[in-house]
Structure 1
Amino acid sequence: MLYSQESSGTREAEPGTLATAVALFAAIGAAANLVGLLILAFGFFGDPGHYDNSLAVSTALGTLLLVFALGYGAVLTLRGDEDGRFTVLVAAGVWTAVGIAGLLAALFGYESEYGIHWAEQGGVGVDIATSTAGLVGTVTAMVHGEWLPNLTGLALPVAISVLAALSARRSR
C-alpha cells in the first residue's frame, strides 16, 4: 500500500515512502521552476528587447502554473490525498512533453524560421546548468537547439513523472 494503514483499516495521514519521494521531487521541481521564473524575469526586465515577448510571457505563465501545480500537488501528496499525485503527474507530464519536443527538435536539426530572440548561448556547460531551471530552462534548451542540454533538462520532469505514475499505479 502507498499509505500506511491502521489495524482498523482507516487511512492515516502519513504517506508511504513512494508518496514522500513524489512530494519531495515535486517540491524540487517547483523550486527549479521558481528559479527559472526569476532568471527569466531578471533577464526580461533587464533587457526586454533581447527576448521574444510572446514566448517570454507564455513561458512565464506556464512556469508559474507549474510552480503552483507541483507545489500544491506535493502538499496534497504529503497529506495523503490521491489528487496530489495526479496533479503532480499531469504537471510533470506536460513539462516532460515540452522537453521531449525540444529534444526531438534538436536531434532532427529543426530551426525556427521566426528569428526568436532569447538568452544567448553560454557554451554547453552553461546551457546544461540553465536547462535544469524548470520550464524556462527547457524552453531555453529548445531555442538553442543543442541535444545535450535538452536531454539534461528532461531528467527532473521525467523522474517526477515516473515516480508519480508508479505511486498512482501502486495505490490501486
Structure 2
Amino acid sequence: MRAMTYASSRATAGPSGVVATTAGVLALAAALFNLWGERSVLSALRDGPHIDKSFAVFSMLGALLAASALAYGAILLLRRDETGRYILILTSGVLTVAALLALVGALTDYQPDYGIDWLAKQGSTNEAVNGVFEGLVGTLTALLHREWIASLSAAVVPLVVFLLSSSRATARWVAYQPPRHGAETSIAPADSSTADA
C-alpha cells in the first residue's frame, strides 16, 4: 500500500520549476541592470553636455523599455503565464542580438561615418563589468568604444535568460496544470474502501 501511494504521488508530481524560476530571477536582475545603466547615462547628462543628448535619450528609453519588459515578463512567468515566457524570449533575444552586433562591430573594427560623444572610455576590465551590469547602455557603450570583451560580457545575462525561458523544462512547467484538491479527495475514499474490502 505504501509503495502504491509513493508511486501515485510520483506520477502526480508536476515538473520542477527550477529552470523557470531561475529564468525569472535572472530576468528581474537584468531589469535592474538596465535601470542602473539608465542611471549612469542620466548622471552623465546632469554633469554636463559632453555626451550626445539624442543618443542618450535613445539609450535611456531603450533601457527603460527593456527593464519594463523583463520585469513584467518575469512576474508573469513566475505566475505560470505563457505570455511572460514569450515576453522574456523576445526581449532577451533582442538584447542578445544587440550585444552580438556590438561584438561583430568590435571584431571588424567598424568605424561609423560620424562620431558620437559618449561616456568616457575606461579600462577593458571596467568596460567588461559595465557590459554586464548596465544592460542595454553597457551594450551600446561597448559598441561605441569597440570593446569586444565588453560586448561579449553584455551578451551573457540576456543569452542565459533566453536559453532558460525558451527551454523545454520551462515550457512544461508553465503548461502543467496541477490536479485539483477536490479530485484527489474524491478518489481517496474509493481507494480506502476497496482496500478494506
Q: TM-score range by the shorter chain?
A: 0.7 to 0.9
Shift of 1:41: 0.8
**Pair 108,83 (structure 1): closer, same or farther in 2 beyond 3 Å:** same
State, as a whole percentage, how many aligned pairs show the same letter. Answer: 34
- The residue that corresponds to 2:137 in the other structure is 136
Distance 1:109 1:84 in 2: 37
Match of 2:34 in 1: 33
Q: Which residue of 2 aligns with 1:58?
A: 58
1:34-113 map, 5 Å: 34-47=35-48, 49-113=49-113
Distance in 2 separating the partners of 1:126 and 1:17: 32
| AA matched with 1:31 | L
User: Which ranges of structure 2 fall in alignment gaps of 5 or more residues?
Assistant: 1-10, 176-197
Gaps of 5+ in 1: 1-5
TM-score by length of 2: 0.76
2:20–2:170 CA contact under 8 A, matched in 1: no
TM superposition outliers: structure 1 runs of 4+ over 6 Å: none
Matched, 1:145 2:146: yes
CA displacement at 1:17 relative to structure 2 = 1.3
Partner of 1:3: none
- Deviation, 1:62, is 0.7
Q: Give distance in 2, aligned partners of 1:67 and 1:15.
A: 27
Give the aligned CA root-mean-square deviation in angstroms. Answer: 2.2
Distance 2:16 2:44 in 1: 39
Deviation (angstroms), 1:65: 0.4
Query: Helix, strand or coil: the match of 1:114?
Result: coil
Distance 1:161 1:82 in 2: 14
Letter aligned with residue 152 of structure 1: S
Specify which structure has the higher proportion of strand: 1
Is the helix fraction higher in 1 or 2? 2
Structure whose CA Rg is larger:
2
TM-score with structure 1 setting the length:
0.87
Alignment check: 8 A CA contact 1:85 1:168 kept: no
C-alpha contact (below 8 Å) 2:70/2:88 kept by paired residues: yes
- Alpha-carbon distance, 1:146 to partner: 1.5
What is the aligned partner in structure 2 of residue 154 from structure 1? 155
User: Do the aligned residues in 2 keep the contact of 1:18 with 1:167 (CA within 8 Å)?
Assistant: no
Residue-by-residue CA offset, 1:23-60 (whole Å, 9 max, x unaligned): 0110111011111111111112222x211122111111
Instruction: Give, in whole Å, the separation in 1 of the partners of 2:81 and 2:29.
Output: 19
**Residue aligned with 1:50, SS:** coil
Q: 1:97 to 1:160 in 2, by over 3 A?
A: same
Inter-partner Cα distance in structure 2 for 1:44 and 1:35:
14
